[in-house]
């Protein structure tokens, strides 16, 4: 289990709309990187089960060029966990 505490932030793309993410810092990503190397997937993504505030869902994390990973957080999850942009969020990640 990987536990991360980070800010929920928004990326505003012109054509793609708004996407909400939590950044998994590089120093907490070694286990994810090893898993990605052993189980290669498109774009270097890694399937995870994420839990925030008792809300659990399956998704993927995506690698950043400078290290670390991005965890997308959909509107349904943000509503259920009562999250807003800029909130400090603790998320538990289980690699699948």
pLDDT digits (tens, 9 = 90+) for 35-73: 877 776 777 899 999 999 999 999 999 999 888 999 999
**Token representation of residue 84:** 């807003």
**Token representation of residue 88:** 């400090």
CATH number attached to the domain at 2-95: 2.40.30.100
| Whether pTM exceeds 0.85 | yes
Task: Let me know the angle formed at the C-alpha of 49 by 39 and 22, rounded to the nearest 5 degrees.
Answer: 100
In this structure, of 22-26, 27-31, 69-73, the range with the lowest mean pLDDT score is: 27-31
Q: Terminus-to-terminus CA distance in the chain, angstroms? A: 11
Every domain of the chain and the residues it spans: 2-95
**Token representation of residue 51:** 């839990």
CB 21 within 8 A of CB 71: yes
Q: What is the pLDDT of residue 35?
A: 83
Q: How confident is the model at residue 15 (pLDDT cuts 50, 70, 90)?
A: low
């Amino acid at each position: 289990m990987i536990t991360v505490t980070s800010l929920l932030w928004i990326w505003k793309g012109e054509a793609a709309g708004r996407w909400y993410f939590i950044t998994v810092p590089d120093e907490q990503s070694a286990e994810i990187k090893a898993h990605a190397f052993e189980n290669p997937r498109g774009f270097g993504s890694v399937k995870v089960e994420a839990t925030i505030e008792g809300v659990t869902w399956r998704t993927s994390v995506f690698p950043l060029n400078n290290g670390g990973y991005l965890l997308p957080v959909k509107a349904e999850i943000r509503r259920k966990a009562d999250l807003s942009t800029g909130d400090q969020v603790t998320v538990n990640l289980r690699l699948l």
